[in-house]
Structure 1
Amino acid sequence: MNTSSKKMAAGMAGFASVLWLGLTAAVAANQRRLVFNPTVIPEVNSPRSSGHRTRPIVLRAKDGTRLCGWLMTPRTPGPRPAVLYFGGRSEEVSWVVRDAGNLFPNMTVLALNYRGYGNSHGIPDETLLVEDGCTLFDWLAALGQVDARRIAVVGRSLGSGVAVQVAKERAAHSVVLITPYDSILAIAKKKFRAMPIEYMLRHRFESIKHAPSLKVPTYVLRAESDDIVPHSHTDQLCEKLANLILDDIVPGSDHMNIPYLEATQARIAGFLTQRFSQPLAAPQLIETVA
């Protein structure tokens, strides 16, 4: 190789290094947008549930951040089972209010937007979202007319990672995971193969690490066609879930439309209704030695 060729090769290598460093820095700096990409525009204006009493609600996180969303209560009185819903990336949750009559019949439903989504204040962060989720669970459990022993946690896509961690930390009755994944880290490592993503990514949502500790009945719904969360990533999670009851693929669904489909909503409603109707296990008595 002559001198001119060597200089050209060295120049190209230098350019490639600068480009790689630039891309790495860009991913590191913009990871919050890449992982969360908050949406503030409501999906449904003035949402109402046909099967519930609906009211907008504002709750405070532990650090005082305002979290905004909706509480839906059944029209018939009495202690009712309840659902805590966690949305996906870029998902504003007002659509849940509109569809709650089909998704969660005769159940109290709490659906709040994450920090930075909808009218909620703050900046999304994995640790804070899980902390907020636990706070919301506790608030719902203490609410009058809610059977605190029958609270299900439902999470879609990104929210499946929140749901798994909240259900691990709180006494959830059951769990529904829509297009869940093993971890955001695993997905990102495949997408950004040439980058040291494991050293850059803060918001990892490693559900696979928490899955063995999730002892409550769990229902997984997959999209028939999913280019966001490939089935291989869901397979990895399902292998580790301690109490996987059902693992369904919804026909005609993709990652974006799956929660809106009648087939999906009927399956979720059926699973939760059936689980909630089962008698609770009697509390174990602790023997004492006189």
Structure 2
Amino acid sequence: MNNSRKVAGFAGLASVLWVGLTAAVAASQRRLVFNPTIKREVASPRSSGHRTRPVVLRAVDGTKLSGWLMKPAMVGPHPAVVYFGGRSEEVSWVARDAGKLFPGMSVLAVNYRGYGDSQGDPAEECMVEDGCMLFDWLAARSHVDPKRVAVVGRSLGSGVAVQVALKRPAHSVVLITPYDSILALAKRRFRAVPVEFVLRHRFETIKYASELKAPTYVLRAASDDVVPHSHTDQLVAKLGKLHLDEIIPDSDHLNIPYLEATQDRIARFLGAQFALPRTN
């Protein structure tokens, strides 16, 4: 009888702990998925290969979003790129490195809601809606060729880039350390928690991958403990038009976009794609 009571007591305690852990994950999921960085990575961002200017754009609901527009010095219209950053990324560094990453291209890099000088709070639905607005705004500039606008997404932003590419006529897609879904990554991390019932921001990129018709270039980190290769494998297997899937030597999840090897590869891929006649 005493043993039965002990077992029941342990079972009750385990249940309380399980419920508590589930509630904690549910309550803190915004912090777990997003990690807004307010401080600029680069104090005075300026591209050596572009005319750089800060921009403040209004989202559909009026929220102010801040970032940078980079225009090549030569007369357009130019091919263009919309960049979407990672979970903890403030995007001023893109303005600094645009000359190497995106030579001869117009570039728009805007911080998510709650990041940098952008107002509001981050959320998947808003990020995709804002991303579509940014694509439309850039495509409408007189110096941009609206038929040659690519999207580039890093880590968390790869999920935004894919959804924007499905809703807008993206010419090409670059995904840096992409994942199958944030839900799958969360389930891997919190194995004892039914995260599928509590996670709101799922970024289930794999659901949209087969519909993606734009040429897609995937870049992986050689060592990645944030997005294990198995999660990228799942996504790559479903991509509708995979161009290339490469591992960048001596890279990890944090340093990959800053490496010369990464920037050279992205510049070559986009330059080659923009030089091709569009077939659809």
Q: TM-score range by the shorter chain?
A: over 0.9
- CA drift of 1:92 comes to 0.4
Partner of 1:16: 14
Mapped to 1, the partners of 2:100 and 2:24 lie a distance apart of 42
- CA drift of 1:194 comes to 1.0
Return the TM-score normalized by structure 2.
Answer: 0.98
Report the secondary structure of 1:42's partner residue: coil
Q: What is the aligned-residue RMSD (CA, Å)?
A: 1.0
- CA drift of 1:13 comes to 2.2
Partner of 1:239: 237
Partner residue of 1:270 out of 262, 268, 271: 268
Partner of 1:157: 155
Mapped to 1, the partners of 2:139 and 2:151 lie a distance apart of 12
Report the secondary structure of 1:222's partner residue: strand
User: What are the residue-to-residue correspondences of 1:1-290 with 2, within 5 Å?
Assistant: 2-3=1-2, 5-281=3-279
One-letter code aligned to 1:255: H
**Which deviations, in whole Å up to 9, do the C-alpha atoms of 1:186-235 show, x marking residues without a partner?**
11111111111111111111111101110010000000011111111111
Report the secondary structure of 1:240's partner residue: coil
Aligned length: 280
Mapped to 2, the partners of 1:15 and 1:94 lie a distance apart of 48
One-letter code aligned to 1:268: I
Moved over 4 A (4+): none
Mapped to 2, the partners of 1:78 and 1:108 lie a distance apart of 9
Report the secondary structure of 1:130's partner residue: helix
Mapped to 2, the partners of 1:78 and 1:47 lie a distance apart of 23
Report the secondary structure of 2:54's partner residue: strand
Larger Cα Rg: Structure 1 or Structure 2? 1
- CA drift of 1:54 comes to 0.5
Partner of 1:288: none
One-letter code aligned to 1:206: E
- CA drift of 1:238 comes to 0.6
- CA drift of 1:7 comes to 3.3
Partner of 1:287: none
One-letter code aligned to 2:117: N
Report the secondary structure of 1:219's partner residue: strand
One-letter code aligned to 1:29: A
Mapped to 2, the partners of 1:16 and 1:198 lie a distance apart of 20
In percent, how many aligned pairs have the same letter? 71
**Which deviations, in whole Å up to 9, do the C-alpha atoms of 1:19-64 show, x marking residues without a partner?**
1111110100110110011111111101111111000100000000
- CA drift of 1:278 comes to 1.1
Return the TM-score normalized by structure 1.
Answer: 0.95
- CA drift of 1:8 comes to 3.2
One-letter code aligned to 1:227: D
Mapped to 1, the partners of 2:136 and 2:197 lie a distance apart of 34
Report the secondary structure of 2:237's partner residue: helix
Report the secondary structure of 1:212's partner residue: helix
Please, which runs of 5 or more residues in structure 2 have no aligned partner?
none
- CA drift of 1:9 comes to 3.0
Report the secondary structure of 1:201's partner residue: coil
Report the secondary structure of 1:215's partner residue: coil
